Every structure is written in C-alpha cells, then in structure tokens.
Amino acid sequence: MDDNKINKDQNQPPPSQNSTPISVEPVSEPQPIFESVPVAEEVAPEVTSAAPEEINQESGLPPDMPPPVYEDNKSKYFVVIGGVIVFFLLLIIFFKFVFSGKGATGNITLTYWGLWEDKTIFDPLIQQYQQQNPGIKIDYQEMSPQEYRDKLLARSKNGQGPDIFRFHNTWLPEIKELASPIPANIMSNAEFEKTFYKVAQQDLKVGDYYYGLPLEIDGLVLIYNDSLLKKAGISAPPATWDDLTNDVNKLTVRDSSGNLITAAIAMGTTGNVEHFGDIFSLLLTQNGGNITKLDAQEAAGALEIYRKFAEPQQAFWNDNMPDSLTAFIQEKVAMIIAPSWDVLSIKAANPDITVKVAPVPAVPGAPAISIANYWVEGVSRFSKNQLAAWKFLRFLVEKDSLTRLYENESKVKLFGEPYSRVDLASLLIQNEYVGPVMKEAGNFVSVPAINRTYDNGLDDQIVQYIENAINSAAQGVSYSEALKTAKAGVDQVFNQYGK
C-alpha cells in the first residue's frame, strides 16, 4: 500500500438509506468462485526450472552407496575411500549451486516488480538479506498499476519479465500461465495454512499447490466521520444494516429546497462511489448470493439494497454529490465503505477531520462477512532462479521482516499494511485505523469484482457488468432483469479465463 495506491490523481480506489429496516435473507455458506484446475494443464507451462517434485528434495544426493569391500591391500582400500569422499564432496558442492539458483559465477540478480510501495520501504530489508546471502542481489522496481498485468504477462513471455512480482488476490485465474508454485522445502502446505488467513488459503491454492505469499491483508471497512455522528446524536457507528437504516435520517441534511447537503453514506450509484463493485459484492455475499449466480433472488435483493440509498423517493445519495472519497474529505458524507488505505488519502487531504474505522455493518443474527482486497507476492515460472526468489519471499514473510516492513511504512505514512500473518494480529488489534481489519480478517471472502485493480481482465470486466446493472436499475429496469443481462456477460468472462 502506498500513496500511489490511494492517491486520487492516480485513479486509486476507496456508498443513504431508507428509514425502513432492510430485510436481508440469512447468509449462506459462500460458494467457491473458481474450481481448482489441474496443475499440469493450467498452471505449469514449460519452463527450464525444476518441477515442484524436484525442488522439494531435501538434497540432490544419490541413494546411499554400498559399503566398500575390504581387501588385503590396504593402500588400495584407502584409495577407494578417498575417491568416494571426493565424489560426495563434489556432489554436495554441485547440488548446492544448482538448488540455490546460482550460476557458474555464484552471483544472481533477482528482479522484483512491486506496486504501491516506494523502493526506500523495501531497501532496509533488501540490504539485510543481501548481507546474509552474499551473491544474491535484489533489484526492486516500483511499477505503475495501469496496464501492469498486461505488461507483466507480455514481458515475462519474452524473457524480459521479473523473477518476483506482485499480484492482486483475485488474479490467479488470469496469471496461471505465469505463477509458479511454492516449493515444499520453502513452505509446506500445512505451514502456509497455519501462518495465513483462510481467505489467502482459498485465493492462492490451485490443486495441491499454493502460488503466492501475502505480505498484507486488507478489505472493506466502515470509515466514518465521528464528529458528524456525534452531531447527529449517534454515539457509535452502526454495527448492523438495521442500525445503519436507523441512522440515515439522523445524518442526512438538506437545504430548504430539499437538496442534499450532507449524506449519511455514499451508496446507490456508480459514477461517484469509488468501490461500488466491492460494496455490491459485500451485499451479495451477505445476502447469501454468489457472483456466478446473478440471476438468483439473492442477487436481486442485494441490488435492491444498494440502489435503495439513491432511489428518487429516498435520495439519500445522488449523482450530484462529489465522488465518495472527495465528499468524505469535504465532510459532505458521514460514512463510506472502502478498504482501510483510503484513510491515508483522507487524512493527507484533511488532517483535522475526525476519521474513525469500524467493521462493515453485518446482517442481524448472521455471521460477519467482509470482502477482501489485498496484494500477494509471486515468483515467475519464466525465472531461471525460482528457488532463490522463493527463499527471498520466505524471508519477507517472517515475523521480524513483516514487523520491520510495517515500521518502515509507518515512518512515511499514518500506518502500514495490516499484517498477513495470523500470529501478528494482536500487535495491531488496538490500532484505531487497522484494528478493524484485524478483527475482520478471519471473515474475509474474495469476489473478482474489485474496483481499480487495473487488470484489464477478470475484475475490470465483471465490474463493468455490475455497473451496467446498477445503471439499468436506475433507469427503471427491474433488479432481476438488470442482473440477468449482467449474468450473461459475467458468464462469458469466466469462460474466457477457463472458469
């Protein structure tokens, strides 16, 4: 996460409601969006590096040789023993170089394409690793998010791509030809599942392998202006959608002509709600729906809830308001639903605003659910130094490395990226800005409908169909009909990526 990630000028991402309580069906168990694909067919293009089975060997040594035969000639005996020792020493040296990813010179350079984070953030950790591993050099390059995925795939196929790269948690189906699996001697599946949150396990596993190591976890939270809530007589942010419905009228301020001056929450439209795809996905999932079944009643119910805030009869939010992030900065809206990093741009633009963060509203009586939106580090199948690259990423996800990375980020920002490791959550649980992320992390669900991942693929295309459905509903098309049309398009997108 970085200023590029949250800067409005960089097109980076961050939702008023009927006073009638929202009726939402109980949440059903979210269905998996992507089916596992066989590693051999979809995830393992031909590469020169070792296959997982080869990489997983603890050593490259051959089976134990039979004991030498004793002879009366002692000199011949010593010659044989000496030859065996020399042979094994040579084997050990050879396999050490081969499996460490080092070439004939013993020096390699790993190119690392990052997003959002300036090189100075990673430099201290890179320098530490290089000192501990002579012969390894890490060349970190901060990339622009625009057309990043397209450039990553094209350059990698041409032999000009990175060894290590960052990708979004929803991207694995569209980069399966590029991503390589984590070798078992770097991190076993059991250790991965013990270390990271369940959503990472669901997002990054295909078949029997995991395909990335997350340095962070993040997703939707409720960001609110505490001063506006207190001014309206509201002492705490809404914990449920029923609570939010009750708060909407108290927070809405209109002029004598009925025009909206201050809105309760930015929801209901597309053009001026920064994370409408994420928010619709939240309502859909909480309502028991699934992005693959937009023709179901649960999906129509989610669209009705989203649109209700901006329907003309209510007009708690409308197209005449500034975009949601700008409106919050200008104190024209009391609440927005967005990832935690939007707090950074809010405070940068208006340091005096009383920003607070809470978990997103839940359906009364149902399990808490929120939508994940985080980034992951992977290793290219086209890299000639895959094992060396994975060793560096393993170093980055160690406790000491992640805490140091957070400290580096916090020196230049209000806070760093929330920890990806479950065992570090307690360090941030009381943090006023990312504490709610830690509380929600175990309840995150991934949906490939995230605004502004800039993938020109799965997310962007599905978000476009959701946008069309919301806008159609605003024009008077029924919720179910608008989503039936969207489903036809979404089905084509999934088919395009083999899902």
Q: Is residue 166 part of a domain?
A: yes
pTM: 0.79
Q: Are residues 25 and 120 in the same domain?
A: no
In a domain, 362, yes or no: yes
Q: Pick from 152, 153, 132: which is nearest to 143 by CA?
A: 152
pLDDT at 439: 97
Residue 478 identity:
S
CA distance readout (Å), 375 to 59, 213, 379, 446, 451? 33, 9, 14, 12, 14
Place of tokens 């393993």: 394
pLDDT value of position 84: 60
**Strand-strand pairing, 253-254 and 220-225:** unpaired
Q: Which residue shows structure tokens 């094209």?
A: 154
**Cβ-Cβ contacts under 8 Å for 332 (sequence gap 6 or more):** 261, 262, 263, 321, 322
In the chain, which stretches have pLDDT less than 70? 1-106, 499
Would strands 220-225 and 333-339 be described as parallel, antiparallel, or unpaired?
A: antiparallel
Q: Is residue 423 part of a domain?
A: no
Asked if 210 and 254 sit in the same domain, the reply is no
Residues 346 and 234 in one domain: yes
274 located within any domain:
yes
State how far the Cα of 224 lies from the Cα of 238, in Å rounded to an integer: 10
Looking at the structure, do residues 26 and 167 belong to the same domain, yes or no? no
Q: Are 152 and 161 in contact (CB under 8 A)?
A: yes
Residues linked to residue 421 through DSSP beta bridges, in sequence order: 196
In a domain, 95, yes or no: no
Q: Is 106 exposed, middle or buried (0-12, 13-18, 19+ CB in 10 A)?
A: exposed
Same domain, 476 and 445: yes
Q: How many CB atoms lie within 10 A of CB 350?
A: 15
pLDDT value of position 314: 84
- Residue 77 falls within a domain, yes or no? no
User: Is 422 part of a structural domain of the chain?
Assistant: no
Residue 210's SS3 state is strand
Predicted confidence (pLDDT) per residue in 326-371, tens digit: 999 999 999 999 999 999 999 999 999 999 999 999 999 999 999 9
pLDDT digits (tens, 9 = 90+) for 57-91: 443 333 333 333 334 444 555 555 666 665 666 66
Do residues 349 and 478 share a domain? yes
Q: Where are the alpha helices (DSSP H) in 28-118?
A: 52-55, 74-99
At residue 57's C-alpha, the angle toward residues 396 and 162, to 5°, is 40
Task: Tell me: do 51 and 148 sit in the same domain.
Answer: yes
Picking from 184, 207, 204, 208, the residue whose alpha carbon sits closest to that of residue 196 is 204
Same domain membership, residue 167 and residue 275: no
Task: Give yes or no: residues 131 and 259 share one domain.
Answer: no
Q: What's the domain range around 387?
A: 39-56+102-217+375-412
CB-based burial of residue 71 (10 Å sphere; 0-12 exposed, 13-18 middle, 19+ buried)? exposed
What pLDDT does 491 receive? 97
Domain count of the chain?
2
Same structural domain, 260 and 361: yes
Sign of CA dihedral 430, 435, 440, 442: negative
- Pair of tokens at residue 328: 């919050």
Q: Sort strands 333-339 and 260-265 into parallel, antiparallel or unpaired.
A: parallel
DSSP code, position 192: H
Instruction: Please tell me whether residues 281 and 329 are part of one structural domain.
Output: yes
Please check whether residue 348 is in contact with residue 438, taking contact to mean a CB–CB distance below 8 angstroms. Answer: no
Question: Does one domain contain both 264 and 328?
Answer: yes
Asked if residue 200 belongs to a domain, the reply is: yes
Strand, coil or helix: 164:
strand
* CATH for 174: 3.40.190.10
Helix, strand, or coil (residue 377): strand
